[in-house]
Amino acid sequence: MTFTVTYAQRAGVGACLRLAGELDMSSAPELNAALDRLTDEGERHLLVDLSELTFCDSTGIAAFVRGDNRATARGGWLRVTGATGRVERVLRITGLADVLGYEPDTGHPASQATP
């Protein structure tokens, strides 16, 4: 499945990114570029919706950590929401669910997730 990343501004949250498909070593650079572009433009709060992400390997995990580090360095955060199945399991096993303020329900966006 083709990887896509789309994003839009969301009042009270910041930039909301929606990932779809498989996040792996071939697609992680696309996510890194989107996160870099947003943080370079001054966005400090990044909410990443994983509800349509079907796979995530270690390079995807590294992209989330890198994005969070960039946002944190600018006084902000990166949060993830909506993961299911294997993607959710990877977040929990790696401990990133806690680090990134994981919310399983996309109905509860990062407006609750503060550093």
CATH level 2 (architecture), domain 4-106: 2-Layer Sandwich (3.30)
Q: Reduce the DSSP state of residue 57 to 3 states and report it.
A: coil
Q: What percent of the chain clears pLDDT 90, i.e. is strictly above it?
A: 79
Question: Which of the four pLDDT bands, split at 50, 70 and 90, describes residue 101?
Answer: confident
Pairing of strands 77-81, 45-56: parallel
Domain locations along the chain = 4-106
pLDDT tens sequence across 7-54: 988 777 789 999 999 999 999 999 999 999 999 999 999 999 999 999
Q: What is the CA radius of gyration of the chain?
A: 12
Average pLDDT over residues 77-105: 92
